[in-house]
Structure 1
Amino acid sequence: MLRIATANVNGIRAAHRRGFGDWLVGRGCDVVALQEVRAQAAVLPEGAFGDFHVALETGTLPGRNGVAVLTREPPAAVRTWSGSALVGGPSAPLREVPATDHVALARGLGPFAHQGRYLEVDLADAPVTIACLYLPKGGLPAHLQRPERMREAPDGGAKYTRKMGFMAAFSRYLTRTRRAAAAQGREFLLMGDLNIAHTERDLAAWRRNQQTDGFLPEEREWLSAQLSSRTLVDVVRRLHPDTAGPYSWWSWLGQSFANDAGWRIDYHLATPRLARSAVRAEVDRDHLGVRLSDHSPVVVDYALD
C-alpha cells in the first residue's frame, strides 16, 4: 500500500505554524507533493520536511511558488525544468545537485523554467514516477474584465494569456513525460494545484462562477483533454463519482470553509493501472481543528502490487 498526498501549503513557514509538521508525522504518508513552498533554502523552518527525503525546486522568485516531493527512500531520479534541484534527507542537509536526467522542455515552457512550478521524481521503492505541478492561477480574458467586480486592477488579459500559453505547452510536455515513464515500465502520477475546477461538481457555487478564472470553459476543456481511460484518470473523481467535491480549497474570507463552499482544484491524475489500484481518497479539511492552508491535503491510498 502506498499512501500519497498532495498539498498546497501556501507557504511552508506559515503551514508549520499551523501544525503542518504534526500532520506530516501523524498522517503516515509514503509520498507527499507540495506546492507553494514559498521559501528559499536559507529560510526554511527547522525540520521543514520531517523525516522524509526531499527533492525541492524553489525557483528564483523569492516568496513565491516552489514545489517539493517528499519520499521515504531517496528518489531514484530527479528531473526539473531548471536543470538542478535541492535534495536532502532526515540526516542530510539540503544541497543543490544537477537534475538526474536532461529534460527537453516543450515549446513555450522556457519562460516558466526557473519559477519553481514543476518537479518530477522516480520512486526507488515502487515503479512510479511522481510529478508535482503548480499551474499558474491566471485571470480573466480582457472582454470579461469589469473593474467594479475585480479585486485587482484590470490587466488587459495578460494573466489569462499567460495561463493559456502555459497549459498549451504543458500539455505537450505531459504527453512526452508520461510516455517516457511507460517506456521505463513505470506508472505516472501527476499531482498538484491545477487552479481549475473541472466540472460543476467541483465547486459549490458553479452557477455564479461560470465567468470566473479557474472555471472558464476553455480551462475546463483543457483539463478534459488531458484525461481519458487510456492516458490519465482523475483518481479522486473515480472514487467519488457522484459527490459534490470533495473540495480542497476554500477562501479565507467569510464562511466559505464553515459552509463547505469550496473548489476542488488539487488533483491526483494517474495512469489507468495506478488509478485502478486506488482504494481510498480523502481530503484532510483540517488538522486538530486548525486549517493548515487555504488548501487542504488530498490523500489517496494506492494498493499497488
Structure 2
Amino acid sequence: MFKLTSLNLNGIRSASNKGLQAWVSKTAPDCICVQEIKAQADDVAGRFDALDGLRGYFHFAKKKGYSGVGIYSRREPSEVITGLGVPEFDAEGRYVELRFDSAVSKRSIISCYFPSGSSGEERQQVKFRFLAAIYPHLQRLKTEREFVLCGDVNIAHQEIDLKNWKSNQKNSGFLPEERAWMSQLLGDGGLVDVYRRLHPHATDEAYTWWSNRGQAYAKNVGWRLDYHLATPGLAGGAQSAAIYKAEKFSDHAPLTIAYDWAH
C-alpha cells in the first residue's frame, strides 16, 4: 500500500506547534502533500525541509506569510516541477509536481492550492482565471502520464459536500460556476474524485474544513474542500480513505488515501 496524505496546514509553523510531526511519525505516510505553508525557503531550511524521514519539495509564494505548497516524499523523484507557467499564479506558490518515471511507467504526485474567492469579487475573478488555466494543464498532463493531484481545491462539488448548502449557493466555494467546473473535470475531463469513488454517499464524515466562527468544528458544520483528483489508472488502485479529526493541526483535516499501485 502507498499511503498518500493531503493537508492544508494553515501555516507550517502553526501546524508543527500543534503536533503535526508526532502524527506523521505515528501514521507513517509514504507521501504528504501540503498547502498553505505560509513560509519562505529560509523559514523551512533546517527545520521543515524534512518530516519524519520524508524529504520536502516546495513552491513558495513571493509574498511572505502567504500560500505556498509542498510535497514530502519517502522516495526521491526523477523530476520536480514548480508552477503552472502562469506568472500570476506562480508568484503565489500554488503548484508543485513530483515525477516518478521508470522504464515501465510515468507517474506524478501534485500538491495544489486553488485560490479562495471568499474575500471579495477581485479574488473570485482570480479563482476563475486559475480554474481556466489549470483545466487545460491537467488535460495535457493526463495524455502524458498518470497522476494524483492532492490539494485544497476550495470547491464543494455537491450538496452532500457541505452542511448548509442551501444558504451557500451564492457564496464562493459553492457557486454554480465552480461546481460546473468540477463536474466537467470529473466528466468529460476524465479525472476521478477518489474519495467519492470510495465513499459515494458520505456526508458529515466527509468534511475536511470548518470555519473558525460559530463553533463550526464542534458542531461539524463543515465543507469538503480537500481532494485527491486522479487519472483513472491510479484511482483504480485506491483501497481506503481516512479523514483524521482526533487532533486539530489546522482548520483543515488531513485526508489520507491508501493505494495499491502494483495492479
TM-score range, shorter chain: over 0.9
2:28 aligned residue: 28
Aligned to 1:285: 245
Amino acid at match of 1:31: C
Q: Aligned AA for 2:253?
A: S
Give yes or no for contact 1:286–1:292 (8 Å, CA) kept in 2.
Answer: no
Query: Offset of 1:243 from its aligned partner?
Result: 1.0
C-alpha distance in 1, partners of 2:187/2:99? Answer: 23
How many angstroms does 1:286 deviate by? 3.3
1:1-305 residue pairs with structure 2 within 5 A? 1-44=1-44, 47-48=47-48, 49-50=50-51, 51-81=53-83, 105=85, 109-123=86-100, 127-139=106-118, 157-181=121-145, 187-228=146-187, 231-245=190-204, 246-287=206-247, 291-305=248-262
Q: Distance in 1 between matches of 2:90 and 2:214?
A: 36
Residue 235 of structure 1 contacts residue 268 of structure 1 at CA under 8 Å; is this kept in 2?
yes
The letter for the 2-side match of 1:220 is R
CA drift at 1:15: 0.2
Larger Rg over CA atoms: 1
- Offset at 1:132? 1.1
Letter aligned with residue 208 of structure 1? S
Return the structure number with greater helix share: 2
Which residue of structure 2 aligns with residue 92 of structure 1? none
Computed over aligned residues only, the root mean square deviation of the Cα atoms, in angstroms, reads 1.8
- Which deviates more from structure 2 when the two are superposed, residues 116-125 or residues 208-217? 116-125
Shift of 1:268: 0.2
1:46 to partner: Cα distance: 5.3
1:24 deviates by: 1.4
Within 1, Cα distance between the matches of 2:72 and 2:226? Answer: 17
TM-score, scaled relative to structure 2: 0.92
Q: Is the 8 A contact 1:61 1:115 kept in 2?
A: yes
Question: What do the CA deviations read for 1:31-74 (whole angstroms, capped 9, x no partner)?
Answer: 11000011112223854232111111112111001100111021
CA distance in 1 between counterparts of 2:25 and 2:18 reads 14
Q: Which runs of 5+ in 1 are unaligned?
A: 82-102, 140-151, 182-186
Distance 1:214 1:268 in 2: 17
Does structure 2 retain, via aligned residues, the 8 Å contact 1:38–1:65? Answer: yes
Query: TM-score, normalising length from structure 1?
Result: 0.80
- Pairs aligned (count): 257
CA distance in 2, matches of 1:240, 1:130: 22
Distance 1:67 1:124 in 2: 22
